[in-house]
Structure 1
Amino acid sequence: MTDATISQSMPDWIKDHIALYRADGDAGHLWIPPRGDSKPLTTLLLTTTGRKSGKQLLLPLIYRPTGDGAYCIIASKGGAPQHPAWYLNLMTDPNVEVQVANDTFSAKARVAEGPERAQLWELMADYFSPYNDYKVATERQIPVIVLERN
């Protein structure tokens, strides 16, 4: 999955973040949101397989470790009514590549449910409070994804 495609429709600041991450995982691992929030956030690079194209697709996402060697991400799409494309890709093929700082590994994605979902949602919303705004902005239940190392 190392020859992943970066969508040209992504904003330049996301493309710049990916370029920095690929050049130096330690430097790219921490990200400062462009909207004036000065708190650096941990990000990972997620590579999925496009459900329509079959291409490897790469994007950065905010994450938190779950405490058991796995990582949690949120399929928020900023509170949009539709799920993000990368989430739909995971539903078709949950096998992904993940980069956390300079550690790259294969993982399997799964959707957290029930009490686990509630616990992980709180973990993520405490870390990045806009998730709570996104939750209010949409009628869909925003998926909480666990990435477990293979």
Structure 2
Amino acid sequence: MSDAAGTSPENPIDNDAEWVKKQIEEYLATDGEKPTFKGGAPLVLLTTQGRTSGEWRRTCLIGAEDEGRQILVASLGGAPKHPAWYLNLQANPEVVVQNKGAIIRGTARTATAEEKPALWAKMVSLYPDYADYQTKTDREIPVVIVDPIV
């Protein structure tokens, strides 16, 4: 399952931001016990395939488990545009999530209007800044569900 530039889900390119690269390194070195995030919000690693490059890329995000699924929020800090990882999974929904020491291959999708309120409330309870982020942008911040591939 290798693609552009020899990348794969097992050999991705890490996020370009230096602070995120450091988060990823610390996460991998401790099986997700570190780093800690603001307010103790739980972190996961998400690997997606680039929608134009085909390269596999990894980033560190707040994530939570819900009924065996992984839940993510595509907030980009309340920016007016969606984060690149969200655009990537819309084009290529097969993703990999690392939650602590567990590697989960899954299919990502945007929560439906019926699913979103409960999941949004759960994620805001873990990281209250999400509520503030929604007030900063006109776009509806998506909640992403990653269903494991079994």
TM, length-normalised to structure 2: 0.89
1:21 corresponds to which of 15, 27, 31: 27
Give unmatched runs, 5+ long, in structure 1. Answer: 34-38
Contact 2:44/2:63, CA 8 A, preserved across alignment: yes
Q: Indicate whether 1:142 and 2:150 are aligned.
A: no
Shift of 1:105: 2.1
The 10-residue stretch of structure 1 (114-123 or 19-28) with the greater mean CA deviation from structure 2 = 19-28
User: Residue in 2 aligned with 1:6?
Assistant: 14
Q: Which letter does structure 2 place at the counterpart of 1:5?
A: I
User: In the alignment, residue 11 of structure 2 is paired with which amino acid?
Assistant: D
Matches of 1:140 and 1:4, distance apart in 2 = 29
Deviation at 1:26, TM superposition (A): 3.8
Q: Map of 1:51-70 to 2, 5 A cutoff?
A: 51-66=51-66, 68-70=67-69
Q: For residue 81 of structure 2, give the secondary structure of its aligned residue in structure 1.
A: coil
**In percent, how many aligned pairs have the same letter?**
35
Helix, strand or coil: the match of 1:31? coil
Q: In structure 2, what is the Cα distance between the partners aligned to 1:41 and 1:119?
A: 18
Compute the RMSD of aligned alpha carbons: 1.2
Number of matched pairs: 141
Show the counterpart of 1:101: 100
Cα shift at 1:4? 0.5
Output the CA distance in 1 between the equivalents of 2:32 and 2:48.
Answer: 22
CA distance in 2, matches of 1:98, 1:45: 6
Task: For 1:64 and 1:98, locate their aligned partners in 2 and report how far apart those are by CA, in whole Å.
Answer: 11
Task: Tell me, in whole angstroms, the C-alpha distance in 2 between the residues paired with 1:32 and 1:124.
Answer: 14
1:97 counterpart letter in structure 2: V
Q: How many Å separate the matches in 1 of 2:82 and 2:32?
A: 30
Instruction: Report the equivalent of 2:77.
Output: 78
Shift of 1:41: 1.7
Alignment partners' CA distance in 2, 1:85 and 1:2: 20
Deviation at 1:49, TM superposition (A): 0.1
Tell me how far 1:113 sits from its aligned partner. Answer: 1.2
